[in-house]
Structure 1
Amino acid sequence: MSAVIGRNGLTAQKHEGDHATPIGIFPLRKVYYRADRIEKPQTILPVEPLSRNDGWCDDQHNSDYNRFIKLPHPARHEQLWREDNVYNLIVVMGYNDSPIVPGRGSAIFMHLQRPDRTPTEGCLALSESDLRAVLSAGADAVQVHAPG
């Protein structure tokens, strides 16, 4: 299994917009998927199909920061319904959510790799078969650490 991480590598001091993947052990919270493109994943986690108006707030000055939102939304956000395929399968990682600290980083997901395996903006990206294997194995947490 080979994961793609943020273009600025791994960090123990994550902050919004640093393009680094946080180091730690993170619970897996929920799975979203594009039901119009892929089959529902088998997992012990809660699963919900995405809709066109689903998003995630990444505006550290908004009370919805690092939360799932419905669009349209007045604050800066990421749209989860994308034209590319990387968000066809998304696992929400329990990073900066208990409690949420503004500016510490948001929208840290496990999602699908791009075909050319280019780095993420801070997420962990796996092939669809590997991500499905993690989910079907009953995983409820992920550990991100430096190799070796």
Structure 2
Amino acid sequence: MKSKYFKITAICLSCMLTILTCGSCSKGDSVRKEIEKLDKAKDADVIFVAIQHETGTSCDFYAYQKKDKKLSLAWQTEGYVGRSGVTDPTNRIAGDGSSPAGVYSLGECFGIYAAPDNMSLPYTVVDNDDYWNGDSSSPTYNQHVKGSEMPDSWDPSSSEHLIEYTTSYNYCAMINFNVDPAVPGKGSCIFLHCTYPTSKSSSGCIAIPEENMIKALQMMTEKSYIVIASSMEDLKVVDQY
């Protein structure tokens, strides 16, 4: 009797796991079909997708890699968006805590820790002299700078001293929002970075678990993009931002 009970329990658990896995795969496939419509998908090697949950600041995060000219889901996880959620980037201002919706290339890779093995892109290990410039009056606004090389007029208090962001910036990649040119007051320091254990949101960045951030850096090439959307419906029009 006990043997039959354990067999039935095992079958039920197996069925539940299959249902959950299939549901996850189904959504991942739906996301893939939408991003394949994007212009950037034609030449992309890698596309990351962050979709905010209906409530709160959590997000589903998907990593797609091109194989045989087709995007396939490499892995997925959960992460966090800005404390104000994902919003239209045209309305975004510095400090509002929102993550900008849209399709963005990924830029400089850096971190407090040494570069993960098998990266194909350059990576900078930051030290006490490294800042991300948040001074909107500066010609190097929203750029990685060395504090010792900045003019006396530069205000470091409005910038991020990168080495101080332990855990979050252990591994990091620039999301190319508000670049070329950087519009003063539009926002700076929008990154893809590691989650912080006690934080359930970011200041506008996309945060994912450290082990996934390492995998993201290892996947990235010069043709890598991130798609940020407030919902599945928003994903369908995200290239209009």
- TM-score past 0.5 threshold: yes
C-alpha separation in 1, matches of 2:122 and 2:188: 20
Per chain length, whose mean CA-contact separation is higher, i.e. which structure has more relative contact order (CA < 8 Å, sep 6+)?
A: 1
Aligned twin of 1:82: 164
- Partners in 1 of 2:115 and 2:179 — Cα distance? 25
Task: Tell me the residue number matched to 2:115.
Answer: 40
Q: Which residue is 1:27 aligned to?
A: 105
Root-mean-square deviation (CA), in Å?
1.7
**Cα distance, 1:83 vs. partner?**
5.6
Distance 1:4-1:66 versus aligned 2 partners, 3 A rule: same
Counterpart residue number, 1:49: 125
Gaps in structure 1 of 5+ consecutive residues = none
Structure with more of its chain in helix, by fraction: 2
Structure 2 stretches of 5 or more lacking a match? 1-76, 233-241
Aligned residues: percent identity? 26
More deviation, 117-126/40-49: 40-49
Matched, 1:120 2:202: yes
Residues 56-84 of structure 1 deviation map (CA, whole Å, 9 limit, x = unaligned)? 11121222211111125522211000163
Structure-1 separation of matches of 2:177 and 2:102: 9
- Which of 143, 149, 155 is the aligned partner of 1:67? 143
Alignment of 1:94-105 (within 5 A): 94-105=176-187
Matched with 1:3 is 79
TM superposition outliers: structure 1 runs of 4+ over 4 Å: none
Deviation at 1:43, TM superposition (A): 2.9
CA contact under 8 A between 1:6 and 1:124: conserved in structure 2?
yes
Displacement of 1:144 = 0.5
Q: Residues of 2 paired with 1:34 and 1:77: CA distance?
A: 17
CA contact (8 A) 1:26 1:95 kept: yes
* Paired letter, 2:142: N
Q: Is the 8 A contact 1:21 1:122 kept in 2?
A: yes
Counterpart check, 1:143 vs 2:227: yes
Structure 2 CA distance for aligned equivalents of residues 134 and 83 of structure 1: 19
